[in-house]
Structure 1
Amino acid sequence: MPVSRTYHPFRRAAALLPAIAACVALAGCSSTASDTPPSAAGSASATHSGPESPGTESTGSTAPPRAGKTEPVSPASVSIPSVGVDSTVMRLGLNADGTVEVPPAEQGMTVGWYTGGAVPGQPGAAVLIGHNDTRFGRAVFHDLKKIREGADISVRDKAGKTVHFTVTGTETVDKKAFPTDKVYGSTDGSTLRLITCDGAFDADGHPVDNLIVYAALR
């Protein structure tokens, strides 16, 4: 099994909205998706080289922000008591090649928030990515497969405000058939998705599936 590998959980389609699929690594876990998700609040825009900061506007002018408009505060930590997760949250943007970053293997016990999605608690789908295992051993989402419907997920932001989500379901999918629209598409309210690797291993020792946890704001 290789000990150093570039992880590519997401791909953007050139000249289209991002075609995104998620995965985190067990010493080299990767996934792609060919579907193009619909435009949604908090989604990365194909007209930019990278995702905009959550809550900002791109108007093409130098006019000051409208009075009273405040930016959502980035998440600082996430807790899932039922599966033993209590982690700080790091920001994940885009790499130079258009792929989305994942937490580095040496920070396998840290959850990452994809800044091209919604801020947890704000309208849209917020996405948190965590490793199952890395070359350094078990990682933050190692026991995510044990989570059950109704479980509580709390996310605290950098201002100290905590929002709670309730797990509504889980899904294990083949990485080659990642449900991009379902995960990243528009939602009626504030939702949360947790993504890690799962399933059997391929010939290179990489998990072939993704585990997706769906949750809604309480």
Structure 2
Amino acid sequence: MPSRTPHRFRRTAALLTAAAVCLALAGCSSSESSSATPATPSASSGRGGAASGPGEPAGSAGSARPSRTGEADRPGPVHVSIPSIGVRSTLMELGLNADGTVEVPPAEKGMTAGWYTGGSLPGTPGPAVLIGHNDTRFGRAVFHDLKDIREGAEVLVRDGAGTTLRFTVTGKETVSKKAFPTRRVYGPTKGSTLRLITCDGEFDAEGHPVDNLIVYGALA
């Protein structure tokens, strides 16, 4: 039987390369016209401006996602809840924009988080990435209180078949968007892991948050 390692390596390498390219376009915008959204998601200016983002996924990039080992018959995630900070949200599918940047939920759906279909399915080996806004021009958004999450907290992810997976928070960090830890977030993991990402930190001269908050979790 041929080894599957080369295929897995190529997929991981391609993902990391795409993420690295996206990082060069990082920026949260307080302007409606901005569409540059990175692998580190634009979550909002927090100053009443609009979050950068191209809007809801057109045709959902997840529909074109290549089948992976163990994923062919598994439904995607449809809901996330974090009891300790009061988060309950359906999940929209997020793919890539035409320019290769990662989609984020549209500002008008700020209370809805998204699952990046270029990552892993929750419950399969590798990192599943959920992206949500902190604030938008419409006000408080789904991951507004993500900064308050503690190690050991439970994150529940339900798939389309009704199966709920329980992840435990293993850590969190705030990082500069200019030094986003691409490999740590998107790199391969032996077990099923979870990353929650939103914007954080001070604002630059254009009203963009300069940091990202990353929460790490592992399947319990």
- CA gap of 1:69–1:132, structure 2 versus 1, over 3 A, is closer
Whether the 8 Å CA contact 2:80–2:89 is kept in 1: the answer is yes
Deviation at 1:6, TM superposition (A): 2.8
How is 1:127-146 mapped onto 2 (pairs within 5 angstroms)?
127-146=129-148
Q: Which residue of structure 1 aligns with residue 67 of structure 2?
A: 56
In 2, Cα distance between the equivalents of 1:79 and 1:152? 9
Per the normalisation by structure 2, the TM-score is 0.75
Per the normalisation by structure 1, the TM-score is 0.76
Once the two structures are superposed, residues 8-30 of structure 1 have per-residue CA deviations (whole angstroms, 9 ceiling, x without a partner) of: 332xxxxxxxxx44442234667
How is 1:8-23 mapped onto 2 (pairs within 5 angstroms)?
8-10=36-38, 20-23=39-42
Q: Which residue of structure 1 aligns with residue 198 of structure 2?
A: 196
Once the two structures are superposed, residues 124-177 of structure 1 have per-residue CA deviations (whole angstroms, 9 ceiling, x without a partner) of: 100000000001101000000000000000000011000000000000000000
Whether the 8 Å CA contact 1:166–1:215 is kept in 2: the answer is yes
**Greater than 4 Å deviation, 4+ residue runs:** 50-55
- CA gap of 1:117–1:203, structure 2 versus 1, over 3 A, is same
Once the two structures are superposed, residues 101-143 of structure 1 have per-residue CA deviations (whole angstroms, 9 ceiling, x without a partner) of: 1100000000000000001111110000000000110100000
- CA gap of 1:28–1:204, structure 2 versus 1, over 3 A, is farther
Deviation at 1:71, TM superposition (A): 2.2
Unaligned runs of 5+ in 1: 11-19, 31-49, 58-65
- CA gap of 1:55–1:160, structure 2 versus 1, over 3 A, is farther
Deviation at 1:55, TM superposition (A): 6.6
Whether the 8 Å CA contact 2:32–2:51 is kept in 1: the answer is no
Q: Using the aligned pairs only, state the percent identity.
A: 64
Equivalent of 1:84 in 80, 83, 86: 86
Q: Which residue of structure 2 aligns with residue 37 of structure 1?
A: none
Other structure's SS at 2:111 match: coil
Whether the 8 Å CA contact 1:93–1:114 is kept in 2: the answer is yes
Other structure's SS at 2:143 match: coil
Deviation at 1:99, TM superposition (A): 1.1
Number of residue pairs the alignment of both structures matches? 181
How is 1:1-218 mapped onto 2 (pairs within 5 angstroms)?
2-10=30-38, 20-26=39-45, 27=49, 53=64, 56=67, 70-218=72-220
In 1, Cα distance between the equivalents of 2:201 and 2:171? 17
- CA-based RMSD: 2.3
Deviation at 1:69, TM superposition (A): 7.8
Unaligned runs of 5+ in 2: 1-28, 53-60
